[in-house]
Every structure is written in structure tokens, then in C-alpha cells.
């Protein structure tokens, strides 16, 4: 009997857990970008529209990162050292939705948007 328990435990450990614990991140990113496009259509603000040029988006992110560092905030606009359930405030574990980081920061810190407006590219 003892040997059977050992074999059963070994079999369970080698096969792994059958329960799915995470989903692939690719669909979440697609949802976040489509949500950003929808919210941009609703509000009409240029800061929420996805930049067709990745360089403009990268420049705005760099500006926001500098602004957050100058104000001693983490990359999400919270005080340094803030801990989040799940590791990030951008992912809602209950719904599976992911928010755009810049939109999240601008909602929490409107001064960051004033300091780092989106540059419109023709």
C-alpha cells in the first residue's frame, strides 16, 4: 500500500497539474489595443488614440517614465514600493481585461498628460 501511494504521488508530480492557471497573453493585448481604439473614438482625445508611428508612442512613454521618476512614483503612478495583487494594476484577474499603461497613468496622474501630450503625426 505504501508503495502505491509513492507511485501515485510520483505520477502526479511528473504529469503536472491538469487545471489551467493562465491564458496566453496575446488575446489580452489585442483586447487592450481594441479597447484603447474604442475609448479614443468615444472621447476624441489624441492622448488615447494609438499612434500609427511607434516612435511617437515610444517618445511619449519615455516622457511619462521621466515624469514619474521625477515625482518619485512607480511606473503606474503609485508611490514607490506599492504592491499589487497579481503583480500589476493593469490586469483585472476577475474579468481577464488588460488596461493600457499610459491611459491608466493619465487617469491617476492628469499632470503627466499635461507634461507629456501625445504628438500627432500627419
Statement: residue 90 has pLDDT above 50: yes
Contacts of 39 (CB under 8 A, 6+ apart): 48, 103
Residues across the chain: 122
Q: What average pLDDT score do residues 105-110 get?
A: 94
Contacts of 66 (CB under 8 A, 6+ apart): none
Give whole-number Cα distances, 37 to 28, 49, 105, in Å.
14, 6, 17
Place 93 in a pLDDT band, splitting at 50, 70 and 90.
confident
Amino acid at each position: 500500500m505504501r508503495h502505491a501511494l509513492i507511485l501515485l504521488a510520483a505520477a502526479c508530480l511528473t504529469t503536472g497539474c491538469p487545471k489551467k492557471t493562465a491564458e496566453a497573453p496575446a488575446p489580452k493585448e489585442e483586447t487592450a489595443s481594441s479597447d484603447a481604439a474604442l475609448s479614443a473614438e468615444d472621447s476624441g482625445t489624441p492622448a488615447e488614440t494609438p499612434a500609427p508611428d511607434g516612435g511617437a508612442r515610444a517618445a511619449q512613454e519615455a516622457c511619462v517614465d521621466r515624469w514619474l521618476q521625477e515625482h518619485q512614483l512607480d511606473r503606474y503612478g503609485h508611490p514607490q514600493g506599492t504592491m499589487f495583487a497579481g503583480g500589476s494594476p493593469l490586469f483585472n484577474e476577475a474579468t481577464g481585461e488588460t488596461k493600457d499603461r499610459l491611459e491608466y497613468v493619465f487617469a491617476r496622474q492628469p499632470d503627466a498628460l499635461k507634461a507629456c501630450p501625445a504628438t500627432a503625426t500627419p
